[in-house]
Structure 1
Amino acid sequence: MRISFLESEISQHYTEQNVLMAESPKSYSPLDIGKYSVAPSGLELEQVHIYVRHGERTPVGVRLAGPPANLPEHWMMCKTARRFQASVNAPGIGNGMDEFQQSRRVVERADGTHNESQCLLGELTDLGRKSTYNFGTSLRELYVERLGFLPDSLQNAEAVYFRTTNVPRTTESLQQIVHGLYPSSKCHPEAIPSIFVRNGRDENLLGNAGSCKRLEILLIGFAQAAASAYNHTLEPLDKKISRYIDGHPVRIDGKPRASGILDTIRAATAHNIKVPSEFEEKGVIDIIEKAVVAEWFAGCEIVFQFRNLTLPMNDSLTWKLSTDKTEEVRRLGMGRLLDDLSTKMQHKAAHGDKDPLKILVHSTHDTALAGLASTLDVFDDKWPQFTSSITFELFKSTSVKNGLSIFNNLMSPFRSKAGPEHYIRMRYQNKNMVLPLCAEEGKHLPGSPEFCTLTAFRERAKELTPVDFVSECAPAGRNSL
């Protein structure tokens, strides 16, 4: 997919003017430049990998819409997205050249009525476009203007890489980010960047349970265990909020599910929509969030309170949570993504300036960010906000060493050849992350534990990478090999 803000088969016509029309008191950029920590002297930035959640969207289902909650059933927050300019092939006109077709997209309700600004369920809103555009301008402010890492104008499309999951809200978010980082006026006509997208079976920007039956089975098991372990913690909330969900109890596996309630409340508050006062109580939301996070992400964490819990899954299988199954979820869910990341960084480290790729931006989902953070043991157990991101930065040591440490000699198979040491720094929620995998002496920059050696990072990534993803995704998993 080629990015063009004048023509595209599926993209909207964006200009800086109409992007900025999406005004809201809640608009902001989650990438806080003021909190960015410049690397110590002796380290040179070589490559940046960014994984960003899409911008603000509508809920993915209709919940709490009736009295007494009275949250919107129809969200009128998508006016900007309704203007299309698509390219269509017209063989009989102009020697077969494409021409532009102006159109509007309008959501029609079941009764045939419509409103031009109504959003689809789960759609990126005007506010989401604003915040992701701001994210792109913040990337520009940091890596172009402040650090001088990226050029002011893009002259070589191979210096950048943009990829999204095949979901409209992530695709549209990435278009906004790219326009903030490198607007059309800052792109050479021969350097218009592409947006890459993969078929569903090949997607690795999230835990792809749809293409991995074994991962689906594991996640269902962890979700059932979370319901058993946490539903009792939700019971005290029934007297407070059951009246907003037709008298149903609040449960992980309830109707609506606790995750659906959290999704609707978070979407509403992000758009300054008033929610019932009970949902503004920190104690209420914290309890729901803790249970929902356990349901979705316990499979990537070592959860000791589940260690001896057994639950029947079907007539022939008894579920038992263990660290082995946690490691398996990490392998099948995030292993391929980490392998992709570490392989590209190793290629950059080995080839230096011969590899022109400097920044990679991936537009993905909350489950990807939480899954990555959990897999690397730095998750804060908080549901990722809209437009939040994880960044991995590759640095090269400019200090010349006379020799390699014993650890580096042992890890030398992961190096293509001897050369300067390389380090990876992970940042999440505008903070440097100290990765437990490189806590040992020799696995991080002395005095700066947040700078993990590329060697140590690749060693852990290799442990998490499935040897044969298709075979390991069989229902019985690795035991069937």
Structure 2
Amino acid sequence: MTVTIGGLGVTASAAANGQTTTSNAQRLPQIPLDVEQYPVAPCGLELKQVHVFVRHGERTPVGVRMRDPPASIPEHWMMCKAARNFRAAVAGLTGLSEEGANGSLDGSMPFTKRVERMDGTSIEGECLLGELTDVGRKSTYNYGQALRRIYIEKLGFLPDTLRNGNEVYLRSTNMPRTIESLQQIIHGFYPTSKCDVNVTPTLFVRNGKDENLIGNAYGCKRLEVLLAGFAQAAAGAYNKTLEPLDKIISKYIGGNPIRVDGKPRASGVMDTIRAAIAHGIKVPPEFRDKSVVDVIEQAVVAEWFSDKTEEVRRLGVGRLLVDVSQKMQAKIDRDVDDPLKILVHSTHDTSLAAICATLDVFDDNWPAFTASITFELFTKREEQNQGSYLQTVLQSLTSYPRPRLHYVRMRYQNKDMVLPLCAAEGDHLPGSPEFCTLKVFQDRVKALTPEDWDLECSPSGR
């Protein structure tokens, strides 16, 4: 089906739908992709390929929590008015086409989607749990526009109009909020007016067993076992630190204590709070007290995102980084014969945190909505040594081109990441430690590559 994109008005107050909101200034601060401060690479480096991993936009909580007084966070979120109209392709199933109002053969059927409640009622614009909201649609559309301004308008890396669909690769996890986020990013990056009439962008989605944009516990039993163990360890380590908060937090969660493994879990409480704040919905004042929130988020980050063992890194992120490394190598080997220039992946907070932790640059903060990581591949000719006139003449006569050097720059939340693995002299561009040599980057990826996926994913591991 094709989503009708448009009408992304998100300024209407949720208060009109019975939801109490705070001012925009009190919303959870986001970090939009910064076009003006994007650092152009040093002279002599040529951008060859870009890999983008972006968290989906703002969404509703994935569960109903804290709806009762005194928290009173809404159970029903009226923030999904955009993209409620669809056109389903049905003609291909029947062999028939319908004549549209303009006399053309459309071959599709329009319909509208609504959320139905248990009592059978429905209200236009209500969101499903965990659904991308109109705010999220707008922020991901803005992200796509920022990508366009950097890589098309500022750098001239990509053409203004997409005429070769093989220059762009688009992929999402098989979740509605990530798929819809990627649709919005595409619309901002290469809107219909900037796509050749013969080019239709393709959005790739993998089956669950083949997914590597997230730590795939579904397809890897050993990873599931390890992550469950880390969650238990986080509960043992942090529940004591949460106990002093019970006297001020428990009244908002049904009198229950706030715990890593509580009911609701601390991560669930913070999911609801972060989603509410991101949409300007009023939350209890305690959840705007930094001294309180920091304690809870420290425990949640430890449970979900903190540095894990090398085995977890291999099974959780290894195959993803292998994809990055292999596509970079293909670009180097084939050069102009490989048209692929930018790869945009729509994914989740756990993905970004895991990538950062695996490369030892995680900042221990919960990744924001539309947070993103980029890996940029650059090439540079090896500088010719100064020598005698005879050496210069002999070098000019040789038929062999000078070898090219290749570098990878990782950026997260508008910041260049200086990877510890590239810290040694010779492992990065001289004077620019953020430009890691491709060889060192690939050596680390090789160490993270599962040798026998099925064996390593058995419950007991290899």
* Aligned residue among 445, 449, 471 for 2:429: 445
Q: 1:365 to 1:418 in 2, by over 3 A?
A: farther
Alignment of 1:166-245 (within 5 A): 166-245=174-253
**Residues 150-171 of structure 1: CA distance to partner in whole angstroms, max 9, x if unpaired?**
1100010000000000000000
**Residues 124-164 of structure 1: CA distance to partner in whole angstroms, max 9, x if unpaired?**
00000000000000000111111111110001000000000
* Runs of at least 5 residues in structure 1 that lack an aligned partner in the other structure: 1-8, 302-325, 404-416
* Aligned residue among 92, 95, 110 for 1:91: 95
Q: 1:154 to 1:221 in 2, by over 3 A?
A: same
Tell me how far apart the structure 2 counterparts of residues 362 and 191 of structure 1 sit (CA, whole Å): 20
* Aligned residue among 303, 328, 331 for 2:311: 328
Tell me how far apart the structure 1 counterparts of residues 96 and 337 of structure 2 sit (CA, whole Å): 45
User: 2:415 aligned with 1:431, yes or no?
Assistant: yes
Deviation of 1:28 (Å):
6.8
Identity %: 63
Tell me how far apart the structure 2 counterparts of residues 418 and 295 of structure 1 sit (CA, whole Å): 49
Asked if the contact 2:428/2:434 (under 8 Å) is kept, the reply is: yes
**Residues 271-316 of structure 1: CA distance to partner in whole angstroms, max 9, x if unpaired?**
0001000000011111111101101123x34xxxxxxxxxxxxxxx
Asked if the contact 1:56/1:127 (under 8 Å) is kept, the reply is: yes
- Partner SS, residue 210 of structure 1: coil
- Partner SS, residue 374 of structure 1: helix
Paired residue total: 427
Asked if the contact 1:52/1:389 (under 8 Å) is kept, the reply is: yes
* Aligned residue among 112, 115, 120 for 1:112: 120
Tell me how far apart the structure 2 counterparts of residues 256 and 284 of structure 1 sit (CA, whole Å): 17
Asked if the contact 1:29/1:131 (under 8 Å) is kept, the reply is: no
Match of residue 273 from structure 1: 281
Tell me how far apart the structure 1 counterparts of residues 33 and 179 of structure 2 sit (CA, whole Å): 19
* Aligned residue among 23, 30, 44 for 2:11: 23
Tell me how far apart the structure 2 counterparts of residues 178 and 247 of structure 1 sit (CA, whole Å): 45
Match of residue 352 from structure 1: 335
- Partner SS, residue 172 of structure 1: helix
Match of residue 396 from structure 1: 379
Tell me how far apart the structure 2 counterparts of residues 94 and 233 of structure 1 sit (CA, whole Å): 64
State the AA in 2 paired with 1:93.
S
- Partner SS, residue 240 of structure 1: helix
Deviation of 1:190 (Å):
1.8
**Residues 35-62 of structure 1: CA distance to partner in whole angstroms, max 9, x if unpaired?**
2111111111111000000000000000
- Partner SS, residue 228 of structure 1: helix
Deviation of 1:80 (Å):
0.6
- Partner SS, residue 109 of structure 1: coil
- Partner SS, residue 73 of structure 1: coil
Tell me how far apart the structure 2 counterparts of residues 372 and 92 of structure 1 sit (CA, whole Å): 48
Match of residue 454 from structure 2: 470
Tell me how far apart the structure 1 counterparts of residues 277 and 174 of structure 2 sit (CA, whole Å): 27
Tell me how far apart the structure 2 counterparts of residues 258 and 376 of structure 1 sit (CA, whole Å): 27
- Partner SS, residue 63 of structure 1: coil
State the AA in 2 paired with 1:14.
I
Match of residue 290 from structure 2: 282
Select the structure of larger CA radius of gyration: 2
- Partner SS, residue 321 of structure 2: helix
Tell me how far apart the structure 1 counterparts of residues 61 and 85 of structure 2 sit (CA, whole Å): 22
Match of residue 351 from structure 2: 368
Tell me how far apart the structure 1 counterparts of residues 360 and 403 of structure 2 sit (CA, whole Å): 29
* Aligned residue among 4, 7, 10 for 1:13: 4
TM-score, normalising length: structure 1: 0.86
Match of residue 150 from structure 1: 158
State the AA in 1 paired with 2:339.
P
User: 2:65 aligned with 1:63, yes or no?
Assistant: yes
Match of residue 291 from structure 1: 299
State the AA in 2 paired with 1:68.
P
Tell me how far apart the structure 1 counterparts of residues 233 and 434 of structure 2 sit (CA, whole Å): 34
Asked if the contact 2:31/2:368 (under 8 Å) is kept, the reply is: no
Q: 1:430 to 1:93 in 2, by over 3 A?
A: closer
Deviation of 1:86 (Å):
2.2
State the AA in 2 paired with 1:108.
E
* Aligned residue among 406, 424, 427 for 1:422: 406
**Residues 344-367 of structure 1: CA distance to partner in whole angstroms, max 9, x if unpaired?**
011112222221110000000000
Alignment of 1:31-70 (within 5 A): 31-70=33-72
Q: 1:62 to 1:71 in 2, by over 3 A?
A: same
**Residues 192-247 of structure 1: CA distance to partner in whole angstroms, max 9, x if unpaired?**
11000000000000000011000001011111111101111111111111000011
Asked if the contact 1:88/1:98 (under 8 Å) is kept, the reply is: no
Alignment of 1:124-139 (within 5 A): 124-139=132-147
Alignment of 1:371-382 (within 5 A): 371-382=354-365
Asked if the contact 1:47/1:359 (under 8 Å) is kept, the reply is: yes
Deviation of 1:399 (Å):
4.6
**Residues 82-133 of structure 1: CA distance to partner in whole angstroms, max 9, x if unpaired?**
11122212423369x7612111101000011110110000000000000000
Asked if the contact 1:82/1:105 (under 8 Å) is kept, the reply is: yes
Tell me how far apart the structure 2 counterparts of residues 450 and 61 of structure 1 sit (CA, whole Å): 40
* Runs of at least 5 residues in structure 2 that lack an aligned partner in the other structure: 13-23, 100-104, 387-400
